Amino acid sequence: MTDQFAATEASAGPSGPADRSDPAGLWTGIDALWSWLDENRVHGGQEGLLLQMLKLSEEVGEVAQAVIGATGQNPRKGTTHTWEDVESELCDVVITALVALRTLTPDTHEVFTRHLARVKRRSLGGTS
C-alpha cells in the first residue's frame, strides 16, 4: 500500500455480497483485487502508481488487438479473435480502471457513482 493511501484504508470496508449497492459483488471484487495487487506489487510509491496507470494503456491495446483480430484486418494473420474476445478485453479495461481508481481512493464506489451521474446529466440532459 502506498503511504499516501495507508491512512484511509482502515476506514474502507467492502460491501457484503447481499448489499444492493454492490451488484454482483462488483465493489467487493474490486477491493479484493486491489488488496491482492497491493500485497504483490513489485514497485511501490509514485513509481508503482504510475505503472498501474500505464497498465490501462496496455489493456486498451489488447482491445485494439482483439478488434483487429475479430475483423481480420491483418491480412498476414487473418481472423485470430472473436467478438467474445473483444468483450473480455473490454471487461479487463473496466476492471483495471476501477482497481486504479481504488488505488487513489477507498471511496471508489461513491466517486464512480457521482461521476457517472454527472456524465448522465451532461449526456442525457438530466434523464436516465
Domain boundaries, the chain: 47-128
pLDDT at 126: 65
What letters, b where the CB count within 10 A reaches 16 and e where it falls short, cover 81-103? beeebbeebbebbeebbbbbbbb
Matching residue, cell 461513491: 110
pLDDT at 21: 73
pTM, to two decimals: 0.79
Query: What tens-digit pLDDT sequence spans the chain (128 residues)?
Result: 343 333 333 334 444 444 567 878 999 999 999 999 999 999 999 999 999 999 999 999 999 999 999 999 999 999 999 999 999 999 999 999 999 999 999 999 999 999 999 999 999 986 65
Please, are residues 65 and 92 in contact by the beta-carbon 8 Å criterion?
no
Virtual torsion, Cα 94, 100, 106, 111, nearest 10 deg: -50
